[in-house]
Amino acid sequence: MLKKLLNPSVDRADLILRIALGVVFFAHGSQKVLGWFGGYGWAGTLGFFQQALGISPFWAGLSFLAEFLGGILILLGLLTRPAALSIAVTMLVAGMKVGLPNGFFLDTQGPKDGVEYVFVLFLIAVYFVIKGAGKISLDAVISKNKQ
- Closest CA relative to residue 119, chosen from 145, 83, 86, 94: 94
d(CA 8, CA 91): 23
Angle at 130 between CA 145 and CA 5, to 5 degrees: 30
Q: What is the pLDDT along the chain (147 residues), one digit of tens a residue?
A: 666 666 655 667 889 999 999 999 999 999 999 999 999 999 999 999 999 889 999 999 999 999 999 999 999 999 999 999 999 999 999 999 888 888 888 877 767 788 889 999 999 999 999 999 988 999 989 988 765
Q: Give residue 134's pLDDT.
A: 87
Q: Determine the pLDDT at residue 68.
A: 98
Cα(5)–Cα(16) distance, integer angstroms: 21
Give the three-state DSSP class for 135. coil
pLDDT at 5: 64
CB 32 within 8 Å of CB 45: yes
DSSP 80-126: HHHHHHHHHHHHHHHIIIIIGGG-SS--TTSS---SHHHHHHHHHHH
pTM of the model: 0.86
Rounded Cα–Cα distance for residues 103 and 115 (Å): 6
